[in-house]
A and B are shown apart, each in its own frame.
Chain A
Amino acid sequence: MSAQPIALIEAITQALAYELRNDDSVVVLGEDVGVNGGVFRATAGLSATFGTERILDTPLDETTIAGLTVGMASQGMKPVAEAQFDGFMYPMVDFIVCHAARMRYRTRGRLTCPMVLRVPWGGGIRAPEHHSEANESIFTNVPGLRVVMPSSPQRAYGLLLAAIRDPDPVIYMEPKRIYRQYKELVPDDGEALPLDVCFVLRDGSDITLVTWGAQVKETLEAAEKLAAEGISAEVIDVATLKPLDFATIAESIAKTGRCVIVHEAAKTAGFGAEIAARCAEECMFDLVAPVERVTGYDTHIPLFRLEMKYLPSVDKILAAARRAMAHS
């Protein structure tokens, strides 16, 4: 039991350990996940506790990790694989899209693929090239997948448990910039969170700020500043991008009439576009202002001298919120 507050990354370790203890079919695999405990320490100590037959260091090949994971999952195991960095996932996409996502579908349920692919996600940690990608919308467009992104230690714990227990493949993206942002108490009670419900992190009545992942931090800060200006902002952490719980967002917009979507990925066809489209389809008559998107630019995330200028910031969110507030 963790009586001490823990960081997001430690909550991931705690969830992995809980499920390894309670389900023999769970195995962890990836590069450096064994004795090294993962490059971010997400699997720290697991090899010593559960042994090398549960915590598998794989050969250094992402295709191998994905293929072995799909093979094990389709034969009754529950593998939790780690892609070491978001930018290394692309060789895995073939297995994720062509097999993990459609094994149940193409066999009419005979074979299934209950697997989790954990991936440290996003920018802002001054990392080398290919270590800072916000690529969630590649996966949100794939039928048969679930895409999850926690933004707090408690949500990381509950959502990872749910992801491992889910009967289908889950892409579990970990905002690495906030791995150690703050600590909170996370009871090791094995309680999972639902995989299809948004989290309302702050109640408000004037404007709805919708975000996920590391941008939850900046968005909450922006909401605080807006409050000082007398603007009441509601903050929604989407967390389970696919399937999207749009009802929670629509309910909020019915109250506020304004919506700003904040995400790190490039703007065009980013997941914010899906949310904006749903707003147009379902919230048209509740909206008093155009839907705003605060996103990365339609560029690659630059190397780290410029990366903070690429990412959404409190100021960018405030500017969008004020534009929305100008309408009534």
Chain B
Amino acid sequence: MTVAARFEIEYLQYLKPDGSLAAELPPAVANADALLPLFKRMLFVRTFDTKAIALQRTGKLGTYAACLGHEATHVGIGASMRPEDVFAPSYREYGAQFERGVKPRDVLMYWGGDERGNDFEIPRNDYPWCVPISTQCLMASGAALAFKLRGENRVAVATCGDGGSSKTDFYAAINSAGAFSLPLVLCVINNGWAISVPRKAQTGADTLAQKGLAGGLHCLQVDGNDLVAVLEAMRRAHERARSGQGGSVIEFMTYRLHDHTTADDARRYRDDSEVKAAWEKEPFLRLRKFLTDQGLWDEAQEKAWIEDCGKRVDVEINAYLETPVQPVEAMFDYLYGDMPTDVLAQREQAIALEKRA
């Protein structure tokens, strides 16, 4: 048999679900100490997420997409980036965005029905939350093309879900990144479910990472609940991107422990036993065990830290709740750089109606 080409997909795992090491710490993690601040920020994300869900349940927030269970992947992706890079998320990667400088109040503003949530103080060039599935991947490819054409040493990182890997836009991002050899990192966060449709119904492919092979990208599958593996995978992808070796597709294996959004009820379509099993592998258990074994963490520290996180999240929640609604003319003010006269006339009508009310 003559073989035209042969491919394989490497799988990365360093920290096993029981907290023991599957392999020596990789170059991305200098030592166990380096993991501690990231673990603490993962705890902040979970605290935020819990409180955001509660806000929705009490009518103080619109529909909210929880990130429960994705914290290692999200924080690891964000932590791997440089400030000048550009991140293009879908709509639940808060952990990555907090690493980039997005504020919890921005998240709440967006899900609370206010566009100002997308006007991040920093990072100014990152993309806002992206609802049309996987279109952010192709926009990120365009951003990477801009960086390449301008000779800038910057990387565009996009995230999508396992369902998102079925979209034309995802394939187009892979293909264009390969064709132009772009500094693009496509992160497929495989949490098992696209609302009610399981991963196996999305594609006949063995891995989602291998979809990158067709476009000539570097492909990797990693344990997305293992912060160490996430950091190492991202280090490799960034190194390739920055050294002109082109783009990567990384599949992060994790699990959506919560409903798709607060408007969803996952009990309708998946077994409790599956969710229970996923809780055994969630990202905190193993990292907490590992750090505790290293003498870097204990229960008292965790209790104090979570209390501190709660206070900081409450400050953000209050900032969100106390932000007045935008004036009605805000509907018109950001439509065009140069406002057309017809839009201006409608703006005046809207203001006049407000005054009458």
Q: Which residues of A contact B (CB under 8 A)?
A: 27, 53, 56, 58-59, 61, 63-64, 67-77, 91, 94-95, 98-99, 104-112, 143-144, 166-168, 196, 243-244, 246
Contact = CB atoms under 8 A, between A and B. Distances in A.
A61 B172 contact: yes
B127 interface: yes
Interface string B323-353: 0000000100011111011110000000000
Contacts of A59: 172, 175-176, 179
Kindly name the residue among B128, B138, B147 whose own CB sees the greatest number of chain A CB atoms within 10 A: B138
Contacts of A166: 337-338
B125 interface: yes
B349 to A, nearest CB: 13
A99 B139 contact: yes
Contacts of B147: 75
**For this complex, into which size category does the number of interface residues on chain B fall?**
35 or more
A46 B302 CA distance: 62
Given A68-B141, A98-B132, A105-B334, A110 B172 contact: no
B120 A71 contact: no
Contacts of A72: 142-143, 145-146, 149
11 contacts: A71-B141, A71-B145, A72-B142, A73-B142, A74-B139, A74-B143, A75-B125, A77-B149, A106-B118, A107-B115, A110-B119
Given A111-B128, A243-B343, A67 B334 contact: no
B124 interface: yes
Contacts, number: 129
A144 to B, nearest CB: 5
B61 interface: no
Given A70-B139, A77-B149, A99-B135, 11 more contacts: A64-B172, A70-B142, A71-B140, A72-B143, A72-B149, A74-B127, A75-B86, A99-B132, A111-B127, A144-B335, A196-B340
Nearest to B156: A71
B340 A243 contact: yes
A58 B175 CA distance: 10
- Of A74, A94, A109, A143, most buried by chain B (CB within 10 Å of CB) is A74
Given A59-B176, A94-B132, A94-B135, A69 B142 contact: yes
B114 to A, nearest CB: 10
A64 B138 contact: yes
B169 A67 contact: yes
A91 B335 CA distance: 23
Contact of B341 (A75, A94, A196): A196
